[in-house]
Amino acid sequence: MMNEPKRKAIALLSGGLDSALSAKIVKDQGVEVTGLHLISPFGCKEDVQTTARSIGIPLILKEKGAAYLDIIEHPRYGYGRSQNPCIDCRIFMFQLADVVRQDEGADFIVTGEVVGQRPMSQHRNALALIENKSPLKGLVLRPLSAHLLPPTVAENEGWISREALFRISGRGRKEQLALAAELNLSHYSQPGGGCLLTETAFAPKLKDFFKYPTYQSDEERLAQSELLRIGRHFRLSMKTKVILGRNQAENQLLESLWPKTHGWLFHPKDFLGPTAIALGEVGEEEKQKVGQLIIRYCRKLEEPYGVTYERFSDGDRGVLSVQRPIAENLLEAWRI
C-alpha cells in the first residue's frame, strides 16, 4: 500500500508569537509548511525571515498592493476604535493567501488567530464571517484555539490531529509563552505590538492621506502611503503636505522613498537638521515654509540658512535662503 502524500499548508506569518507557534505546531505534525508574509505599505516591519528560519520553513513575501488601500479607505464592515477595518482586512488577506495556496499546491491555511484576543475580528462570529466571505471556508486552521471552533477540513480528513491542538482564548499570552518555551521557539517579535491601524496617533495621518490626495497614479499612492509611518507630518494647505524626518535613520528613509513619491526633497545645506519631502502643489511660498519648518528643528547656527530642494520628475533644483523658523502657532496649526 502506497503512503499517503504529504500534506501542504500555507502559514500566515506576521513575525509575532502566535503565528510562529501555529506554524511550528502544524509543521511538527508532519505537514509541509510554507510561510506567507503579506506586506502592508505602511505596516510594521518585522524580521519575519528570522522567524521562518527558526521554524525551519521557506517564506513567501507578497505585497498587499494598491487594492489594500482601497479596502482601508472604504471598508464594507467598518472600522474599530481607530482606522482599523479588521474584518475587511482579514477577508482581503485570506483572498491573497488562497491565491498563494493554489499556486503552491497547498491543502489549507494556518493562522495564529486566538479567540477573544482582538475585539473586532477574533471572536467566533467574526471569524466565521471572515471565513465565509473568503474562498477558504473550512480551510483555515487556527491551532491555538482549534478546540473552541468547529473542526476544519484538515482535522476531519485526518491531515492534522485535533487532539494535538489547543483551546487558548483571551488577550493574555501566558499560555503561548509557556508553549513557546516547550517547543524551543525563541525567534519572534515580543508580544505587545500590534497593527499600526489600531494606533490612535496614526489615524489622523491616514484620514488626511485619503481626504487630501497628492498622488496621480497607483505607484505614487503606494509610495506616499509608506511615508505615513515616518516622521512629523504637516498640512500647509488642502493641496500641500510636508513630512520631516525625526532622526538620521528617518532622514535616510525619506530620501530612499522620495523618487517614487514624485514630490520635492529638501535638505539642510550647511547645518544639521531634518530632511523633508513636500507633496502636492509646491511653489515659491511653499518652499519657504518647508525651509522654515526645517530650521525649526535644526541646531541653531547663524542666519540665514541655506536649504536645498529638488524635484525628481524634472530635476528642478535650487537653494533657498531662509531667514527664520516657522512661528509656533503655525507649526501647531499645520501639524497632522
281-295 pLDDT, tens digit per residue, is 999 999 999 999 999
Domain count along the chain: 2
Residue 263 has pLDDT above 60, yes or no: yes
Domain identity same for 43 and 112: yes
Residue 3 covered by a domain: no
Domain identity same for 35 and 124: yes
Tell the burial category of 292 from Cβ atoms under 10 Å away from its Cβ (0-12, 13-18, 19+).
buried
Domain identity same for 193 and 208: no
Question: pLDDT class for 1, splitting at 50, 70, 90?
Answer: very low
Domain C-terminal end among 197, 222, 244: 197
Cα 211 from chain centre: 20
Domain identity same for 193 and 206: no
Prediction pTM value: 0.86
Give the residue numbers spanning the domain of 122. 8-197
How confident is the model over 137-167, as pLDDT tens digits?
999 999 999 999 999 999 999 999 999 999 9
Residue 48 covered by a domain: yes
Residue 1 covered by a domain: no
Domain identity same for 325 and 239: yes
Domain C-terminal end among 197, 222, 254: 197
Residue 217 covered by a domain: yes
Domain identity same for 220 and 310: yes
Residue 2 covered by a domain: no
How confident is the model over 184-226, as pLDDT tens digits?
988 887 655 567 888 888 999 999 999 999 999 999 999 999 9
How high is the pLDDT of residue 315? 82
CA atoms of 213 and 258, how far apart (whole Å)? 16
Domain identity same for 147 and 232: no
Domain identity same for 209 and 257: yes
Domain identity same for 98 and 205: no
Asked which of 57-61, 84-88, 273-277 is least confident by mean pLDDT, the reply is 84-88
Residue 193 covered by a domain: yes
Say how many Å lie between the first and final Cα of the chain, rounded: 67
The CATH number that applies at residue 72 is 3.40.50.620
Q: Which residues contact 4 (CB under 8 A, 6 or more apart)?
A: none
Percent of the chain at pLDDT exceeding 90: 75
The phi, psi pair for 117, rounded to 5°, reads: -80, -40
Domain identity same for 131 and 233: no
Domain C-terminal end among 179, 197, 215: 197
Domain identity same for 159 and 249: no
Residue 113 covered by a domain: yes
Tell the burial category of 88 from Cβ atoms under 10 Å away from its Cβ (0-12, 13-18, 19+).
buried
Residue 2 has pLDDT above 80, yes or no: no
How high is the pLDDT of residue 275? 97
| Mean per-residue pLDDT over the chain, rounded | 92
Domain identity same for 170 and 212: no
